[in-house]
């Protein structure tokens, strides 16, 4: 596959430096769910006007319903990314939006009318299960003219899952990986072609996490603690690292955007630590813990409450690392100019179980910072509050009644610092069909968690 990665997105950016100069986003796309609520409506893609000069600024201007109740739309990705900015045959036109619980895929056309996306094609989850014995899709990455998706389980919801391979016409090619020996679970992945490396992480089997979180599953080793380094070209694991008790449930993984760099980061959710890796002079990969979020004694959980790092991202210039603590309720910015010695430069509080910010911009927060997406210029961070339906219901049960929310956090990308924008709030508790919950966000021109350069 590595040899085949020659091109991807015609309208993309030639380099991270070019992406930094991209125009401001006018709209953003956010997946919203009714899965797990008493409202038996389909999940949908919300198009939100974020153009401050627009009369509909700060409003949902389109709702594209997808599938049926219970899909659990979760993460999404583009059919094409900046890896192939010079290929005129490809276009960043389609959002690929899978349902984590149904395994259905919804291909949405956002280019014909960026303000009114439409459903282009549906791929049946049952067909995927029959042809690949995979289910529960999570991360979507373009790979040249191909598409790779991490799948968290087999057809019956058991670990370890694998990787689904789709072609540019969204046809099922089969499984991408040649060998998953050493992989206990599946979750996120990122690749760096110039180093012939891919890194993947571990959550748990769908049968384990879909019903909700049970602390006993941790002691039973039903959740992951390894990250895996893959030979990208040969599609097999070459090194697995056990992060131990300080690396329980490693979730989101990010490389530097600079395609020459071997540096990357992963957030261990339950242990609430950030790890950094890099390639050594002998072509091995070394990993080190660089940030430790302290667990806090509380009256809610029978153990000290972890921050629960559920999302991380790296700014396009590779200067700042951002992550969210979904249980504590804070969102952090670190200067990672020296990746081994990060410096905390910004922090804001939005909801959380510690009670430090129960009300933000005049609205009660039932939830906390969860999914985050940064503008290409590094100045605007879009924040939503829902994690996963059953976990939402378990830790923030009032979210079912109040719905989720989206905020913008303005970021100082020169000296560091963060501030919640006081004139922007999307209240998904006031949706036409009733309260919904917002999860991942993408931009029409690309974003900091989808673009990879060859």
What is the tens place of the pLDDT at every residue in 211-261?
999 999 999 999 999 999 999 999 999 999 999 999 999 999 999 999 999
For CA atoms 28, 33, 39, 40, give the dihedral sign. Answer: positive
- What residues are paired with 291 via a beta bridge? 274
pLDDT of residue 86: 66
* Contact of 374 with 380, CB cutoff 8 Å: yes
> How far, in Å, are 143, 220, 266 from residue 453 at the CA level?
10, 39, 19
Identify the segments of the chain with pLDDT beneath 50.
Answer: 1-9
User: Parallel, antiparallel, or unpaired: how do β-strands 405-411 and 418-420 relate?
Assistant: antiparallel
Q: How many residues does the chain have?
A: 454
CA distance linking residue 444 with residue 409, whole number of Å: 20
Q: Which CATH class is domain 2-442?
A: mainly beta
Please state the domain extents for the chain. Answer: 2-442
The tokens of 77 are what? 């990705």
* Contact of 81 with 9, CB cutoff 8 Å: yes
Q: pLDDT, tens digit, for every residue of 147-174?
A: 999 999 999 999 999 999 999 999 999 9
pLDDT of residue 154: 98
Q: How is residue 171 annotated by DSSP? A: -
CA distance linking residue 36 with residue 311, whole number of Å: 21
Q: pLDDT, tens digit, for every residue of 14-32?
A: 889 989 998 999 999 999 9
* Contact of 407 with 329, CB cutoff 8 Å: no
In the sheet with 77-78, reading across from the earlier edge strand, the strands are 77-78, 94-98, 105-109, 118-123
Number of neighbours of residue 197 by Cβ within 10 angstroms? 23
pLDDT of residue 446: 80
What's this model's pTM, rounded to 2 decimal places?
Answer: 0.96
CA distance linking residue 399 with residue 365, whole number of Å: 8
SS3 call for 430: helix
SS3 call for 399: helix
* Contact of 177 with 233, CB cutoff 8 Å: no
């Amino acid at each position: 596959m590595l040899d085949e990665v020659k091109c991807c997105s015609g309208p993309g950016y030639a380099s991270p430096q070019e992406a930094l100069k991209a125009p401001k986003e006018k709209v953003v796309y956010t997946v919203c769910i009714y899965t797990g609520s008493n409202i038996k409506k389909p999940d949908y893609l919300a198009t939100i006007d974020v153009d401050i000069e627009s009369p509909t600024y700060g409003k949902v201007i389109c709702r594209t319903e997808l599938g049926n109740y219970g899909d659990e739309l979760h993460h999404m990705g583009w059919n094409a990314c900046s890896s192939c900015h010079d290929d005129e045959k490809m276009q960043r036109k389609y959002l690929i939006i899978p349902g984590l619980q149904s395994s259905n895929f919804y291909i949405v056309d956002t280019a014909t009318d960026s303000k009114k996306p439409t459903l282009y094609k549906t791929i049946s989850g049952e067909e995927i299960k029959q042809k690949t014995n995979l289910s529960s899709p999570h991360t979507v990455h373009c790979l040249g003219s191909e598409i790779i998706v991490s799948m968290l389980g087999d057809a019956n919801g058991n670990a370890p899952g694998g990787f689904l391979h789709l072609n540019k016409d969204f046809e099922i090619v089969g499984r991408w990986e040649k060998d998953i020996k050493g992989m206990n679970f599946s979750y996120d992945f990122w690749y760096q072609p110039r180093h012939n490396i891919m890194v993947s992480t571990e959550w748990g089997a769908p049968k384990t996490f879909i019903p909700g979180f049970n602390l006993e599953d941790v002691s039973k080793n039903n959740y992951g603690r390894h990250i895996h380094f893959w030979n990208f070209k040969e599609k097999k694991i070459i090194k697995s690292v056990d992060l131990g008790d300080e690396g329980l449930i490693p979730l989101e993984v990010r490389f530097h955007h600079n395609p020459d760099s071997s540096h990357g980061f992963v957030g261990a959710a339950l242990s609430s630590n950030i790890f950094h890796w890099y390639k050594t002079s002998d072509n091995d990969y070394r990993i080190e813990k660089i940030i430790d979020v302290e667990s806090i004694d509380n009256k809610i959980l029978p153990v000290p409450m972890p921050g629960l790092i559920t999302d991380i991202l790296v700014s396009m210039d590779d200067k700042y690392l951002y992550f969210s603590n979904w249980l504590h309720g804070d969102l952090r910015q670190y200067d990672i100019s020296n990746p081994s010695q990060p410096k905390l430069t910004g922090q804001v509080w939005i909801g959380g179980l510690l009670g430090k910010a129960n009300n933000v911009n005049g609205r009660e927060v039932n939830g906390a910072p969860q999914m985050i997406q940064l503008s290409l210029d590094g100045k605007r961070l879009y924040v939503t509050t829902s994690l996963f339906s059953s976990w939402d219901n378990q830790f923030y049960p009032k979210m079912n009644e109040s719905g989720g929310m989206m905020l913008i956090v303005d970021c100082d990308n020169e000296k560091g610092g963060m501030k919640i924008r006081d004139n922007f709030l999307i209240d998904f508790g006031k949706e036409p069909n009733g309260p919904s919950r917002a999860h991942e966000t993408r931009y029409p021109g690309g974003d900091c968690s989808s673009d990879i350069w060859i």
